[in-house]
Amino acid sequence: MEVKSTYKYARISPKKARDVARAIQGMPVSDALDALAYTPRKAAALIGKTLKSAVANAENNHELIADDLTVKEATVGDGPTFKRFKPRARGSAGAIRKRTSHLYIILTDEEEIPEPRERSSKPKKRTVVAKPKAKAKKAAAPKKEEAPVEVEEVKAEDNNKDAE
């Protein structure tokens, strides 16, 4: 059986909370609470509060034993962003975004939980397509040499006409 708990509008950036949430996925509840207790981050306290709420929901509403529960899913969604401004030099203002998060925890009492996939830290290889090279400049050189020769011949003919 699955038990859910949510914490909406938590005043923490979703990016910062996701790291802590990923760390407890697939753990038994007791291990997850211990891990969160010794994690020196603000997100650990907020996720711990949500996890305790999920355990209380399981015990009171569904009559489950807390020791048998495991964290099936711990996700963090984006909440609304509070927009503020900070006065800056020369009468301008800089934007400040105070981000909020929605924390979702799902516990289960089932034995086998599919392990979350590990993400590879290696970047994907990209194939580079070679551009065709420009034509060699040597092919253009003979054309330039031919043009002055023709001009010189014309000039020589003009000089011969003047001499006659």
Please report whether residue 138 resides in a domain: no
How far apart are the C-alpha atoms of 4 and 60, rounded to whole Å? Answer: 13
The answer as to whether 113 is a domain residue is no
Q: Does 25 map to a domain?
A: yes
Residue 47 domain-assigned? yes
**142 in a structural domain:** no
Residue 12: give the domain boundaries.
2-108
Among residues 15, 46, 50, the alpha carbon closest in space to that of 29 is found at: 50
pTM: 0.67
pLDDT of residue 160: 61
In a domain, 134, yes or no: no
157 domain-assigned: no
Could you read off the pLDDT tens digit of each residue along the chain, which spans 164 residues?
999 999 999 999 999 999 999 999 999 999 999 999 999 999 999 999 999 999 999 999 999 999 999 999 999 999 999 999 999 999 999 999 999 999 999 999 987 666 666 766 777 777 777 777 766 555 555 555 555 555 555 555 556 655 55
Q: Exposed/middle/buried for 153, CB within 10 Å: 0-12, 13-18, 19+? A: exposed
69 contacts: CB under 8 Å, gap ≥ 6: 3, 28, 29, 55, 58, 107, 108, 109
Residue 59: CB partners within 8 Å, gap ≥ 6? Answer: 65, 66
Assess if residue 127 is contained within a domain. Answer: no
Here the CATH number for the domain that contains residue 79 is 3.90.470.10
- Split into its structural domains, the chain has a count of 1
What is the per-residue pLDDT for 72? 95
* Per-residue confidence (pLDDT) for residue 129, from 0 to 100: 75
Distance (Å, whole) CA 80 – CA 98: 9
